[in-house]
């Protein structure tokens, strides 16, 4: 019963039936999931599924992408810079939301919402989910400011739940919920997927902003030093014969232009390729200068909490 209480809270927060989360995949080994869904596959065992590492711009084969002795999970959930050496924030309750797309060429067309928490349990407890007191998720569209649309119309059955106890960084919790196809998600863009929870008396909120791009649905990901990457929800198949897919990124410098009901519009003033950590850059990167990007709510909260 101790575990079912937070799962019932999650079900209420998603406005879905209890069947969705009554029997998720339970706590798994530290070396990754069982591979039954894209939310399980964690090649480097850092508690971030490979599909999330694509969005977070971290290396799915290296649990410490930048080699600074701080795990990718900790840096990602803190909204830090997992691709650049940096000092960790003081250990505290943290939450981060991601939305990812289907696997290229896969049979499952659904997108996924992933909620990650780092719980610092009081009194030396070894459970994280037991300290989740409230949980709420919703969708916002800038065309209807202030209106919160529950995700009951977007979530589907087959949630994945994991917990992992660490020696110094608290209890890590993952809840991943499959949602509608990317084609259906495109009909409500631009939008922001939000999650809010209370953990051990502390209220946390995180959101993922989604925008339309020619390749489908994308998220604007901070890259550090005021630069951003427009990253598609799904990996882009590579034209190279050397690999199946490649993380083609173009680092953009944005300058605020106008603000309206749809969000804040930015002008791309610089676009550079970044070669660190085996990322590859599209040859058309430099052509992005002068483009405009509209982000619901602007660049605030892009790092999560």
pTM of the model: 0.82
- What HEC string does 259-300 produce? EECCEEEEEEEEEECCCHHHCECCCCHHHHCCCEEEECCCCC
Question: Is 251 inside any structural domain?
Answer: no
Task: Determine if residue 66 is left, alpha or beta; phi over 0 gives left, psi from -120 to 50 gives alpha, anything else beta.
Answer: alpha
pLDDT band at 107 (very low <50, low <70, confident <90, very high): confident
As a whole number of angstroms, the distance between CA 305 and CA 301 comes to: 6
Burial of 69 (0-12, 13-18, 19+ CB in 10 A): exposed
pLDDT band at 7 (very low <50, low <70, confident <90, very high): low
Question: Is 260 inside any structural domain?
Answer: no
Q: Residue 136 above 70 pLDDT?
A: yes
Q: Which domain holds residue 206?
A: 4-213
Question: Is 284 inside any structural domain?
Answer: no
Strand-strand pairing, 149-150 and 132-140: antiparallel
As a whole number of angstroms, the distance between CA 106 and CA 237 comes to: 12
Question: Is 32 inside any structural domain?
Answer: yes
Which residues lie closer than 8 Å to 118 by C-beta, 6 or more apart? 73, 74, 77, 91, 92, 93, 94, 95, 169, 170, 171, 172, 173
**What pLDDT does 149 receive?**
92
CB 111 within 8 A of CB 99: yes
User: pLDDT tens, 28-57?
Assistant: 333 334 457 899 999 999 999 999 999 998
Which residues lie closer than 8 Å to 249 by C-beta, 6 or more apart? 57, 229, 231, 273, 274, 279, 280, 281
Question: Is 299 inside any structural domain?
Answer: no
3-12, 25-34, 36-45, 253-262: lowest mean pLDDT where? Answer: 25-34
CB 111 within 8 A of CB 179: yes
Q: Residue 102 above 70 pLDDT?
A: yes
Q: Which residue has the higher pLDDT, 153 or 95?
A: 95
Question: Is 200 inside any structural domain?
Answer: yes
Q: Residue 168 above 90 pLDDT?
A: no
Question: Is 247 inside any structural domain?
Answer: no
**What pLDDT does 244 receive?**
40
Question: 219-240 burial string, b = 16+ CB within 10 Å, else e?
Answer: bbbbbeeebbbbbbbbbbeeee
- How many structural domains compose the chain? 1
Q: What percent of the chain has pLDDT over 90?
A: 34
**What pLDDT does 111 receive?**
96
Phi and psi at residue 8, to the nearest 5°? -65, -40
Tokens found for residue 254: 């944005």
Tokens found for residue 137: 């998720």
Question: Is 90 inside any structural domain?
Answer: yes
**What pLDDT does 27 receive?**
37
Which domain CATH number covers 80?
2.60.40.10
Tell me the average pLDDT of the chain.
80
């Amino acid at each position: 019963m101790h575990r079912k209480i937070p799962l019932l809270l999650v079900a209420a927060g998603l406005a879905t039936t209890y069947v969705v989360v009554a029997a998720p995949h339970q706590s798994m080994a530290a070396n990754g999931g069982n591979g039954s869904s894209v939310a399980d596959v964690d090649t480097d065992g850092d508690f971030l599924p490979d599909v999330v590492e694509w969005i977070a711009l971290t290396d799915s084969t290296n649990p410490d992408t930048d080699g600074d002795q701080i795990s990718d999970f900790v840096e990602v959930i803190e909204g830090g810079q997992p691709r650049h050496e940096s000092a960790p924030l003081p250990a505290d309750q943290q939450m981060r939301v991601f939305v990812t797309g289907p696997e290229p060429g896969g049979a499952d067309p659904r997108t996924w919402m992933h909620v990650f928490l780092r719980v610092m349990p009081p009194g030396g407890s070894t459970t994280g989910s037991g300290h989740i007191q409230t949980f709420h998720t919703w969708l916002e569209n800038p065309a209807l400011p202030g209106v919160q649309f529950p995700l009951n119309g977007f979530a589907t059955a087959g949630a994945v739940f994991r917990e992992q106890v660490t020696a110094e960084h608290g209890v890590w919790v993952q809840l991943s919920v499959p949602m509608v196809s990317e084609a259906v998600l495109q009909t409500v863009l631009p939008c922001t997927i939000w999650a809010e929870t209370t953990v051990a008396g502390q209220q946390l909120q995180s959101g993922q902003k989604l925008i339309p791009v020619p390749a489908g649905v994308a998220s604007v990901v901070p890259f550090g030093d005021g630069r951003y990457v427009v990253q598609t929800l799904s990996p882009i198949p590579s034209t190279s014969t050397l690999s199946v897919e490649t993380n083609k990124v173009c680092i953009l410098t944005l300058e605020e232009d106008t603000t309206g009901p749809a969000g804040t519009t930015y002008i791309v003033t610089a676009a550079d390729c970044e070669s660190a950590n085996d990322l590859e850059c599209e040859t058309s990167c430099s052509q992005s200068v002068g483009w405009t990007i509209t982000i619901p709510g602007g660049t605030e909260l892009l790092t999560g909490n």
